[in-house]
Amino acid sequence: MSVVALESTDFNFPGQTEVYHGKVRDVYKLPNDKLLMVATDRISAFDHVLPRAIPYKGQVLNQIAAFFLDAVSDILPTWLEAAPDPHIAIGKACEPYKVEMVVRGYLSGHAWREYREGKRLICGVAMPEEMKENDPFPEPILTPTTKAAEGHDEDISREAIIAQGFVSEAEYLELEKYSRKLFQRGTEIAEKRGLILVDTKYEFGKRAGEITLIDEIHTPDSSRYFYQDTYAELQAKGEKQRQLSKEFVREWLIENGFQGLEDQTIPAMPDAFVEKVSQRYIELFEKITAQKFKKRAYEKIEAQIEQAVLNYL
């Protein structure tokens, strides 16, 4: 492939106090309680960072997240203040809650894998009998997880979250309320674009005593989308849904013998597959935002990012 990718960063911005390299983001702490997130082109699956980065993936994630954070800013405060470069976002530092709020409108992904094994409870929430993969739930369900610094996030019930003191009962009810409102807004936007928002996750923090939406939302890394026009027909035939999400990367890894288990080796992604993943990310950007994706120039990208941050500060 002729295009390179942004695999990692190592900036030293004025007044920078700390840097954290996550699975796909590099997070810099700046003066005045600001956070700068660089959405790199790294890609993760099954809690492992894959060996090859995906061109334009970071730009797609950053710009979709900015699009949706703006679209939900009337529901609750968000952390984002500016996105002065296609790969970066700058905003308010918050104290994160140690749970992620997962909202599921359909029986897909992890929920389906649990259901297929005969389980009818997920995170303390009952799932109806006689459902098929990708069937809609009677109404969206909340299946929270603990937020692990490393390794796997774990399913947890509302009762356990409150009992273990992760969140007070009053705050948890607020997080549930916000999660449902955000999912409804995401569903409405997706519907206008011919998509179905299947499931997603939200992360919240607290700033000056106020619950604040943090991280990315409604991106292909945090969400799953189906195409609306073929959903009913494929479901009736029991065929796989056409989807825009990261699930096809997980499926490719499973087909190639990797599910993140011990003693498994991550398979090498050939150029053609890397290109396919990049195209799928761009497709989702254009589909969900109704905007044409403008590929950034990768030449001297670090200098471009640094200058954009300095201009903002």
> What one-character DSSP code corresponds to residue 269?
P
Q: Where are the domains of the chain?
A: 95-244
Domain range 95-244, its CATH number among 3.30.470.20, 3.40.50.2000, 3.10.50.40, 3.40.50.300: 3.30.470.20
Lowest mean pLDDT among 146-150, 211-215, 269-273, 278-282: 146-150
Banded pLDDT at 2 (limits 50, 70, 90):
low
205 Cβ partners below 8 Å, 6+ apart? 79, 94, 95, 96, 97, 211, 212, 214
CA-nearest of 246, 214, 285 to 42 is 246
Give the model confidence (pLDDT) of 33-78 as tens digits.
999 999 999 999 888 999 999 999 999 999 999 999 999 999 999 9
User: Amino acid identity of 5?
Assistant: A
Query: Around Cβ 214, how many Cβ atoms within 10 Å?
Result: 26
SS3 298: coil
As a whole number, the mean pLDDT across the chain is: 93
pTM value is 0.89
Banded pLDDT at 3 (limits 50, 70, 90):
low
